[in-house]
Structure 1
Amino acid sequence: MSEAETLFAALRQSSGDDAVTMLERMVRDAPDHALTKINALDLAAKEGIGEEQVIAALLNAVGLGIFEMSWNVMCPSCAGVISANKSLKTLDRAQYHCAFCAAGYETTLDNLVEVTFTVSPRVRKIAAHNPDALPAAEYYRQIFWSSAIDLPTDLEKLLREVTLESIDLPSGERAILSLRLPEGTLIVFNPVTHTAQFLDVRGEEASERQNLSMIFKNVQVPAETLAFRPGPLRLALENRTDSRVLPAIWI
């Protein structure tokens, strides 16, 4: 008997059989993205199993090491995960700021915090266990956005349609991007550090190249909207974090 089979046999001693059978099937057959940020209420509705039975099974599975639980502070506007926490004890800030929405929110369990479950790597290794290896679209799907948003299957295509330029920048590296700014409001956003820089692009076409530098650090620093004119831009990027960053210019 494998370790997973042993653990699920133990789970059956404390949880409803329907819920355990469902979880065991998911761990065995479900795609990777379905095994991260599992919302217990959504799962119960989808599978037609009682909410209390599913919640109890997941909590007992956490106790056995089959799943891991996370308390996610999410933005009520964009549904992005602002902070992922292993326990309530680390929810120690009265207010959280979403760089993507340029808005701050008071921390309330009812409106801002979701509890989700991810399969443990001891039972099954999935792509979300190694976020640095995820393609950008899957990083947004599996790491950045919360379970509160129903993402389309063609997310990668939709992101390409709104992305002017993007780069996967390793830790400690620098890069320079040359691009042309269209008129409108643009955002340079990195989902890994939740860093955002808004660009207000308007006026006559720039005759000379414009310049912008961004340094990504582990500490968020609120940034004011910068004014630019349509035309050429030299964007210098530097990654001073201990992981890769995924900056993109969205239109």
Structure 2
Amino acid sequence: MQDNDALFDALRRSADPGVVDAVDDLVRNGRDDELARINAVGFAAGRGLDEETVIAALLHASRLGLFEMSWNILCPSCGGVLGANATLKSVRQQDYHCAFCAVTSEPTLDDTVEVSFTVSPRIRRIAAHDPDSLGFWDYHRQVFFGSGVAFPEPGAFDELSRKAMLETVELQAGERMILALQLPALPVIIFDPVTHTAHLVETAGEPTTERRELSMIFTSAAAGVGRMTLSSGPLRLLLDNRTERRVLVGVYVANAELDRLIGGRRPFLTAKRLLTNQTFRDLYRTETLDVEQRLKIMSLTFLFTDLKGSTDLYERVGDLVAYDLVRSHFQILNEIVASEAGAVVKTIGDAVMATFPAPHRAVSAALRMRDSMRQLNARQGAEELILKIGIHEGPCLAVNLNDRQDYFGQTVNIASRVQALATGDSIFATQAVVRDAESVRLLSSRGVEARPQALTLRGVADRMPVFAMS
């Protein structure tokens, strides 16, 4: 434990000490299942901690080797993990298939790629480090399902599982078994979460007393979903495990109890949110995406800033004073962006490009930036720094440009051109930003009016309403 103490001491020097104490307590005293796939958002809520400081602490802890970070591809229907990746670079662009739900989907960083944290085996050994030692439901909770699935409390869980399951079977490598089942007048899913092999049995027609047979062979190769339609009645199920691992076969009834058993959801840390986190960008600057990798984000908010008349500033006050002023402006903007759950993507001359997970975060940052520049100018006794700000929200691609995580698409272009239209120390934003429900509440609480402007964006075929915040 002395090595662990040294690592936690190092963590306290780079992360919030109160959060580090909570993480330390979890590692020392938490149950194995609590350390298997930590939901950063859920952990923050459970401990009454700020989400951003928890995320930052877990990122620093992972960098130190206390935790292993995982980028998990989730089924949008059941929340099952279709692929676990040690880095974002391993996430494939093509479709993923959930055998349990018979659903095929393309991963999006908004809501089907989660980021979770597992305690390192060098720090504490837990059961999930040896998944073949886990029981049927422990495997599902800690390995197959993502951290966003909220299971019922133990008593309710036991009751629902009895009503939602016909049978559960553990087959060791090379083992075979025959099950005698009675098919109900409802669809039945036969599923193994280890090999992701499934067979869907639809029921139709009059009940029968005739015994039918169904064979399922489990192999290490990727398997499709078998389908058949039978009437309710007896079924002889032949199971053959031809893998080198044990499999966990469950026979599920697609009923209301199954929906209640695995249908609960809770917030989790998405890949999109992590990519817009400043701590992540600072710590994992070159470890995000491959050069040819392009991953979709359905909604991201971009904020661009630029200093008006910065060339005149250098001529008026001299290089040294102007440099110090511009550097102070960058520091203020960086701090505001990070405090609003955003991240600075890059600076271009005196301009800043930042991203936020939601429009209202960008609006809040913009208003604070403008107030801070006005206060800085007041201290200087002159309006030396005039900040122009533009905001837009929409879909984009996360890409790697010049060995750095960046973004590509029309949303980025529009945000930049909205900023170019801004005059004075104005904030211009598109309708998608100012009509966002949280943005409306924020502007109202701050007494800020968003007025439409009759302006045309260069390179955008359709006219877009642009709003000035005053």
Q: TM-score, normalised by structure 2?
A: 0.51
1: CA distance, partners of 2:222 / 2:161:
24
Amino acid at match of 1:185: P
Which letter maps to 1:40? A
**Whole-angstrom distance in 2 between the partners of 1:158 and 1:139:** 17
Q: Where does residue 124 of structure 1 map in the other structure?
A: 124
3-state DSSP of counterpart to 2:19: helix
Secondary structure of the residue that 1:161 maps to in structure 2? helix
| Rounded Cα–Cα distance in structure 1 between residues aligned with 2:40 and 2:205 | 50
Separation in 2, partners of 1:74, 1:160: 26
- Deviation (angstroms), 1:146: 0.8
In the alignment, what sits opposite 1:5? 5
CA distance in 1, matches of 2:44, 2:210: 58
Give the superposition deviation at 1:61.
0.9
Match of 2:15 in 1: 15
Counting only pairs closer than 5 Å after superposition, residues 85-100 of structure 1 correspond to structure 2 as 85-100=85-100
- Deviation at 1:156? 4.1
* Aligned pairs for 1:1-251 within 5 A: 2-154=2-154, 155-251=157-253
% identity of equivalent residues: 48
Shift in Å, 1:67: 0.6
Decide whether aligned partners of structure 1 residues 32 and 248 sit closer, same or farther in structure 2, where only a CA change above 3 A counts: same
Structure 2 unaligned residues grouped into runs of 5+: 254-470
Which amino acid in structure 1 is aligned with residue 237 of structure 2?
A: L
1:65-113 CA-to-partner distances (Å, cap 9, x unmatched) read 1111000001111111111111112112411111111111111111210
Matched residue type, 2:166: L
Task: Say if 1:8 and 1:24, in contact at 8 Å, map to a contact too.
Answer: yes
Aligned-partner SS, 1:138: helix
Report the CA distance shift for 1:249/1:224 in structure 2 as closer, same or farther (over 3 A). same
**Higher gyration radius (CA):** 2
> Retained in 2: the 8 A contact 1:137–1:159?
no
| TM-superposition CA deviations, 1:161-185 (whole Å, max 9, x none) | 2111120011121111112222221
TM-score, normalised relative to structure 1: 0.94
> Offset of 1:207 from its aligned partner?
4.1
If asked which structure has higher relative contact order (CA below 8 Å, sep 6+), I would say 1
Is the partner of 1:248 in helix, strand or coil? strand
Number of residues paired by the alignment?
A: 251
Give 3-state SS (helix, strand or coil) of 1:168's partner: strand
CA contact (8 A) 2:198 2:226 kept: no
The CA deviation string for residues 166-211 of structure 1, in whole angstroms up to 9 with x for no partner, is 2001112111111222222111111112221110123233343211
Q: Distance in 2 between matches of 1:224 and 1:178?
A: 19
| Alpha-carbon distance between aligned partners in 2 of 1:79 and 1:25, rounded to the nearest angstrom | 28
CA RMSD of aligned residues (A): 1.6
CA distance in 1, matches of 2:23, 2:241: 39
